[in-house]
Amino acid sequence: MDLDAFFASCEQLGHPEYAGRPVIVGAFPGRRGVVAAASYAARKFGIRSAMPISEAQRRCPDAIYLRPDMEKYRRLSRQVFAILATLTPVVEAASIDEAYLDLTGLEKLLGAPEIIGLEIKRRILAETGLTASVGIGPNRLIAKLGSEYRKPDGLTLVRPEQVLDFLAPMPVSNLRGLGRQTGKIFDRLGIRTIAQLRNWPLAALEQHLGKKAAASFHRQAFGLASDQVIPERGRKSISKETTFEMDVLDHRVLQDALRHLAADVARTARREGLAGTVVTLKIRFEGFETYTRQHKRPGPTQDEREIMKTAWQLFQETNLPAKPVRLIGVGISGWEQDQPAQADLFAQPEQQQSSQRLLQTIDRVTERFGKGKLQLGAPRKKP
């Protein structure tokens, strides 16, 4: 199940006047940033996710440009996943707007697979106003490609005996894990479609792609993939980033931006009951020159002060170029199951409890009044 142009569709729900118009979620024209989502009317102009806003504006200056409202998108996503959970107990979230469902054994209860697919689409539309595209197949790869096949508002059923014919005319770019460099190799070899890829022996592909990549694409070309749906897979990381209007060299500005991002990351982690041991810093300079740095902490945390401290140490101590910064981001990962966030070994129990109450208070204020109303300060050294 894949929601159609999710961010843009969420915005159109609250603004009927946006219906049928090009809607682009990301940044405002004249500012830095990229397209996060585009309505199907905007896609007719060649606008796609991750395209610079400046290019989107050049292609479609009359589009409606909006900043993302993640709280709204998460709320609608939760509604959709609650609907899916009433139809099958085996649902795996692939992202905020996409899920794999296992329909095995549900025919006697709900009907044939295509009937279940139609019911999924009907209920999502009736209860949220959103449209979804559904792909049904014998494994994850075919189901995913099926969901993309007739977007938007599509339904595609691919039976096991139809898999090879379904895949044959597709461009190899539809396959999972095919990046720019692999695409160049396929172009050089004259491999444009999955049918053409199928004609290459595995040994010959290995000479050009290496054993691991060759095996992956060879299997996909024959429609072979996992059929497991794992409900508890969960998210692998939490990250936030911001792009500056102008490149920034002032460390005080960078530090303030990082502090806000760390607070967002920590708040999300606390809301989802997660604590991470790995802090990641992301820095981008002019020309999309991008660096990431990571540090594994001695114990898990969901405290913005600890995330900020680690991220800033990464910024200062990992030999990053001394150039103006275009984008800065921070994230946490490396969840440790059944282990609480690490407390300060030298703090008294009452201090630890007070700190936890403080964070909980900030979360409640933020939830009620919005971000930026209350946050933790930090002493700043005199220049």
The pTM is what?
A: 0.70
Phi-psi region of 72 (alpha: psi -120 to 50; beta: other; left: phi over 0): alpha
Residue 340, pLDDT > 50, answer no
The band of 65, judged by pLDDT with boundaries at 50, 70 and 90, is: very high
Predicted confidence at residue 81, as pLDDT, reads 95
Alpha-carbon span 331 to 272, nearest angstrom: 15
Alpha-carbon span 47 to 44, nearest angstrom: 7
Percent of the chain whose pLDDT exceeds 90: 69
* SS3 at position 4: coil
Residue 373, pLDDT > 60, answer no
Residue 350, pLDDT > 50, answer no
Residue 132, pLDDT > 80, answer yes
The band of 105, judged by pLDDT with boundaries at 50, 70 and 90, is: confident
- Which of 11, 92, 98, 304 is catalytic? The answer is 98
For each of the domains in the chain, give its residue range(s) and CATH number, in order of start.
2-70 (3.40.1170.60), 71-164 (3.30.70.270), 169-221 (1.10.150.20), 237-369 (3.30.1490.100)
Predicted confidence (pLDDT) per residue in 245-295, tens digit: 889 999 999 999 999 999 999 998 888 888 999 999 999 998 788 999 999
DSSP 44: T
- Beta pairing partners, 99: 93
Predicted confidence at residue 383, as pLDDT, reads 42
Residue 161, pLDDT > 70, answer yes
The band of 372, judged by pLDDT with boundaries at 50, 70 and 90, is: low
Establish whether 98 is a catalytic residue.
yes
Cis omega (within 30 of 0) for bond into 152: yes
Alpha-carbon span 355 to 362, nearest angstrom: 11
Residue 346, pLDDT > 50, answer no
Alpha-carbon span 373 to 378, nearest angstrom: 16
The band of 70, judged by pLDDT with boundaries at 50, 70 and 90, is: confident
DSSP 340: P
Predicted confidence (pLDDT) per residue in 143-159, tens digit: 999 999 999 999 999 99
Residue type, 137: G
User: What would the DSSP string read from start to end of 120-174?
Assistant: HHHHHHHHHS--EEEEE-SSHHHHHHHHHHT-SS-EEE--GGGHHHHHTTSBGGG
